[in-house]
Amino acid sequence: MLLIAVPVALWCGCCAFGWSFGFRLPRLIFFLLSILFSFFSFVFFVCAMATNQDESGAKRNVRSSTRSNSNSDLSLDSLRLLLSEQKNDIVQSVSGKIDEINVKVTELISKFNRLEDTVTEVCRRQDEQQKEIEQLKCMMSGLPREDNLVEEVQRRLARENNLIISGLQEKVSGSVEARALHDVNEFKRLCEAMDVPDVQMDKCFRIGAKRQDGGRLLKVCLKERGARNLILGKAKTLRSSDKFSKVFVTPDRTLSERQTYKNLKTELLQRRAEGEEVVIYRGRIEAKSDLKNFHE
């Protein structure tokens, strides 16, 4: 509007000047016309300025609104970014706590398993000690009440890996080495009949005076007590063997133990004659119904 008002005012002024000059009007009239045209030019100028200010204000408002919307969008994006970062931090923190809890739970489970293994081992050792106590009681039950108590215990310990075998055929002819080799081979075949292979034997020899029928007892010294107990446990299977059905395997007892066992055997036969189902178990007479595994 300003660009339109200024040229119009100039044009009007020029026209007035030309008109006054052409018609030779008085200078007063020319002066008044000039003032009038200047007034109109000023009015046009003020209107143009007002219009320009309105347009500038509108533009500023539009720019301000645009900046406000842009700032609002930026604020929302910033808020979303902040929330996303906080969410990630929370998730990482919770995940870390969960991992720590899992590690602690795993450690507790491991400690519990070790404790359970320790308790099991302690119980096993207690059972073994209880068995040893029972065996010592059985050993002490037949000891003579004399000053040679220590000697009796030593004799029993020296015989704990030995076996006495009766009914095993003896070779009466040949050299000493041949007879000893025969006894070794017979003992191995006896073990095979009882399904006890690979028995580690220290030595074996016949005891007692020589007999023409070769029926002396065979004493076998083993290297391990476990093998001796295994053979004693399977000695009953020989009753079903064709060759060794009349062979008997017993522990190597001392004189005191043999006397105690003889008394137990007498009592056993008497009670069985009375109808009781009893056996000799660990130096005592026990009812079969009370025992799951036994050997006489």
Q: Give the CATH number of the domain where residue 222 resides.
A: 3.30.70.330
Top-confidence residue, 288 or 119: 119
Same domain for 151 and 54, yes or no, is no
Same domain for 149 and 285, yes or no, is yes
Same domain for 145 and 284, yes or no, is yes
Q: Give pLDDT tens digits for 154-186.
A: 888 889 999 999 888 888 888 888 888 998 999
Same domain for 60 and 186, yes or no, is no
Same domain for 165 and 49, yes or no, is no
Same domain for 176 and 275, yes or no, is yes
Residue 262 lies in a domain: yes
Q: Give pLDDT tens digits for 6-15.
A: 555 555 555 5
Residue 95 lies in a domain: no
pLDDT of residue 277: 84
pLDDT at 76 over 70: yes
For the record, the structure tokens of 26 come out as 């008085």
Contacts of 178 (CB under 8 A, 6+ apart): 171
Residue 20 lies in a domain: yes
Q: Give pLDDT tens digits for 90-118.
A: 888 888 788 888 888 888 888 888 888 88
- Could you list the residue range(s) of the whole structural domain that residue 193 is in? 140-290
Percentage of the chain modeled with pLDDT above 90: 6
Band of residue 2 on the pLDDT scale cut at 50, 70, 90: very low
Q: How far apart are CA 154 and CA 152, in angstroms?
A: 5
Residue 85 lies in a domain: no
Residue 132 lies in a domain: no
252: phi then psi, degrees, rounded to nearest 5: -85, 100
Residue 263 lies in a domain: yes
pLDDT of residue 282: 73
> For the chain, what is the domain count?
2
Residue 278 lies in a domain: yes
Contacts of 67 (CB under 8 A, 6+ apart): none
Same domain for 149 and 284, yes or no, is yes
Residue 296 lies in a domain: no
Same domain for 69 and 161, yes or no, is no
| Boundary-marking domain end, from 78, 94, 115 | 78
Same domain for 168 and 281, yes or no, is yes
| Boundary-marking domain end, from 34, 57, 78 | 78
For residue 293, which of 233, 232, 227 has the smallest C-alpha distance?
233
pLDDT at 289 over 90: no
168: phi then psi, degrees, rounded to nearest 5: -85, 125
Same domain for 276 and 173, yes or no, is yes
For residue 251, which of 288, 225, 287, 213 has the smallest C-alpha distance?
225
Strand pairing report for 201-207 and 217-222 = antiparallel
Q: Which three-class secondary structure string do you get for the chain? A: CHHHHHHHHHHHHHHHHHHHHHHCCCHHHHHHHHHHHHHHHHHHHHHHHHHHHHHHHHHHHHHHHHHHHHHHHHHHHHHHHHHHHHHHHHHHHHHHHHHHHHHHHHHHHHHHHHHHHHHHHHHHHHHHHHHHHHHHHHHHHCCCCCCCHHHHHHHHHHCCCEEEEECCCCCCCCCHHHHHHHHHHHHHHHHHHCCCCCCCEEEEEEECCCCCCCCCEEEEEECCHHHHHHHHHCHHHHHHCCCCCCCEEEECCCHHHHHHHHHHHHHHHHHHHCCCCEEEECCEEEEHHHCCCCCC
| Boundary-marking domain end, from 78, 99, 121 | 78
Same domain for 188 and 49, yes or no, is no
